[in-house]
Chain A
Amino acid sequence: MSRPDWIVLVLTLLGIIAYGLYKGRTSRDLDGYFLANRMVPWYMVLLGIMGTQASAVTFLSAPGQAYTQGMGFVQYYFGLPLAMVVLCITFVPAFHRLKIYTAYEFLEQRFDLKTRTLTSFLFLLQRGLSTGISISAPSIILSSLLGWDIVWTNIFMGGLLIIYTMTGGAKAVAYTQQLQLIIIFGGMFIAGYMVIHRLPEGVGISEALHIGGKAGKLNIITTGISSKGFDWNDRYNLFSGIIGGFFLALSYFGTDQSQVGRYLTARSVTESRLGLLMNGLVKVPMQFLILLLGVLVFTFYQFNKEPVFFNKSQIDLLASSKYKDSLVVLEKAYEATESARIVSQSSPQQQQLKAIEEKKAGYKATVKRWLKDIGADNNDTNYIFLRFVVDYLPKGLVGLLIAVIFLAAWGSIAATLNSLASCTIVDFHKRYARPTSKEKEYRLSRMYTLFWGIFCVAVAQLAYNLGNSLIEAVNVLGSLFYGVILGIFLVAFYRKRVGATAVFISAIIVEAGVIFLNILSKKGIVPLSFLWFNVVGAIGVILLSEVIQICSPKLNIRDKDKP
């Protein structure tokens, strides 16, 4: 990176920390630290929700995904607006009325302590580990691309934000997320403009869409239905997006404290609802635009030489392996093919262009095969957008886009640290330890925030050392638990006659069933995409708890008279 890039990057990051420290002054009690004294307006709730959901990988991976597989990924978000409506009708008024700090507190009021403790524990386990991964993933990408030391990158990615998150709690998180998202959207907009600006003369957005469409990148709506019937293993289609995405979004926004903690800070039910509904309005178009950026970058590389593999550090590994001589020969041949392809773009001889593109695809496939053979990472999807930024954007702007990656990570991680600390103190410390003063609770909350920050950075380092195995395990962990936790909440809200013991037993049984289903899916015995696990888990808990309650009517139905 050049000096102007470093200046922009450092100033942006320091500015955010200073802003967080300045705005984070609040009352020294749990209400101030975790709920910002319930004074946050709807637009900050909206930005908080968006900033928590959109991690660094969202901005790195989504354009790359559109580049390689097309824009079908946007369907994953189709269930989100529907989930926002259900949340506003059911979850939000109940959470506000009970004046709770964590979503799991509600479960003790409706069921019992063991149900609350189980769900809160699952949240801490899954969210603590996955936050480590969300630090590690962008750190690995940045350190690979820019040659940074991974330990320091992890510390900067996950450590610096602890300063303002620990000091200012939810208020600092809300204010910094607001500023972070403004910078992120500004940076992404400029990046989009620069891609269009760098397209050849006579190629605008319309032509870029035609080029992308011809290459199958604009396959936004797919049904997953073929002559063989519905493909349950297809990750992103209209039905999995609406149904599976609905259950996933309902679970994430309704039962995950990192999100619930954002709209609990709102001034009123109205402000919470407005923040969530606005998220339902803007999320899908926003994701569409991020994916569109990937299609524009794809069009750009139709007129410019595309690297044989976007992750340069893996090519360097290949260059020092047994394939080093073969790589030199392949790179020369690839270079010549790329030159011929660019010249052929304007030629009417489409047959010739097709032959060149097939040749190019062959070279790229060979490199991926070699990388796999030496045990290197042969997936470069997450590197496509950032490689374009580093190679083609002007000085200063590269620093801004790197800052965007950091800020996207910080917004998401800061909210999560705040929620991890709130669950630790409210669901465990306050519930199981001796009562203490408000001032001590406040100080303990800050200590728990620091603890979780250090824990997550340590997991990030562990994830790097263990490689893809831990990342995959953590990703699977989330999709395995979400459905069951949602099922518990849905029973709490909608099945008044079902009691604590019935829902607890059914949650344990269904969780075991979902884990078994995942094993069958991995082995290819049951073809089922992960989005459907949420549906199975949630509906499984509702039905089984109902059956257990009917079969054992003597089981306690706690608080049955509550509205």
Chain B
Amino acid sequence: MTEETQEDEAPLFKRWSVWYTLVIGFLILLILVFYFITKKFS
């Protein structure tokens, strides 16, 4: 079902999994930044 065809190739990176990691990594980074803001300004 997740087999990639020519049309489905990921832009910029070789695989879509890099995009998925980027999105999840960015979410983790945001949560850490928000945690820092919560601690700093509370």
Interface positions of A (Cβ within 8 A of B): 74, 78, 81-82, 84-85, 88-90, 93-94, 209-210, 212-214, 216, 218-221, 238, 268-270, 273-274, 277, 280-281, 284-285, 288, 493, 563
**Contact across chains for A270 and B23 when beta carbons are under 8 A apart:** no
Please state if B2 and A213 are interface contacts (CB–CB under 8 Å): no
Q: Counting chain A CB atoms within 10 Å of each CB, which of B1, B23, B24 scores highest? A: B23
Is the Cβ of A281 less than 8 Å from the Cβ of B23?
Answer: yes
**Within 8 Å CB of B11, what residues of A?**
270, 274
Q: Which residues of chain B come closer than 8 Å to A88, judged between CB atoms? A: 16, 19-20
Closest 6 CB pairs of A and B: A213-B41, A220-B34, A218-B41, A280-B23, A81-B27, A269-B8
Per DSSP, are chain B's interface residues mostly helix, strand or loop, or mixed?
helix
| CB-defined contacts of B35 to chain A, threshold 8 Å | 220-221
- Pairs A–B under 8 Å by Cβ, sample size 15: A74-B34, A81-B23, A81-B27, A88-B20, A89-B2, A89-B16, A209-B37, A214-B41, A221-B31, A221-B34, A273-B10, A273-B16, A277-B19, A280-B23, A281-B23
Query: Which single member of A84, A85, A212 contacts B41 (CB below 8 Å)?
Result: A212
Q: Judging by beta carbons under 8 Å apart, are A281 and B40 in contact?
A: no
Q: Is the CB of A209 within 8 A of B41?
A: yes
Nearest chain A residue, comparing its CB with the CB of B19 = A277
Instruction: List residues of chain A with CB within 8 A of the CB of B20.
Output: 85, 88-89, 277
Q: Are B24 and A218 in contact (CB-based, < 8 A)?
A: no
| Cβ B8 vs Cβ A81 within 8 A | no
B14 CB, min distance to chain A CBs, angstroms = 14
Asked if residues A78 and B10 are in contact (CB atoms below 8 Å), the reply is no
Provide the bound-state CA to CA distance between A220 and B20, in Å.
25
Q: Please determine whether B24 and A78 come into contact, CB atoms closer than 8 angstroms.
A: no
By beta carbon, the residue of chain A nearest B40 is A213
Contacts of A212 in B (CB 8 A): 41
Tell me if A269 and B31 are in contact (CB < 8 A). no
Q: Which of chain A's residues has its CB closest to B21's CB? A: A85
A563 touches B23 (CB 8 A): no
CA distance A274 to B30 in the complex (A): 20
Q: In the complex, A277 Cα to B22 Cα: how many Å?
A: 9
Contact of B42 among A82, A84, A219 (CB under 8 A): A219
> B40 — which chain A residues lie within 8 A by C-beta?
213
Name A85's closest neighbour in chain B (CB-CB): B20
- In the bound assembly, the distance between CA atoms of A89 and B41 in angstroms comes to 39
Note all chain B residues with C-beta closer than 8 A to A84.
23
B37–A78 touching, CB < 8 Å: no
6 other A-B residue contacts (CB within 8 Å) besides A90-B2, A281-B22, A288-B34: A218-B38, A220-B34, A220-B35, A277-B19, A277-B20, A280-B23
B31 pairs with A238, CB closer than 8 A: yes
Of the candidates B22, B24, B30, B42, the one whose C-beta lies within 8 Å of that of A213 is B42
Q: Which of B5, B7, B31 has the most CB of A within 10 A?
A: B31
Could you tell me the distance between the alpha carbons of A88 and B20 in the complex, rounded to whole angstroms?
9
> Is B41 in contact with A270, judged by CB distance below 8 angstroms?
no
User: Across the interface, which residues of B come within 8 angstroms of A82, CB to CB?
Assistant: 24, 27
Tell me the smallest distance from the CB of B31 to a CB of chain A, in Å. 7
Taking the closest CB of chain B, its distance from the CB of A285, in whole angstroms, is 7
Q: Which of B2, B26, B41 contacts A81 (CB 8 A)?
A: B26
Q: How far does the alpha carbon of A89 sit from the alpha carbon of B8 in the complex, in Å? A: 11
A270 touches B37 (CB 8 A): no
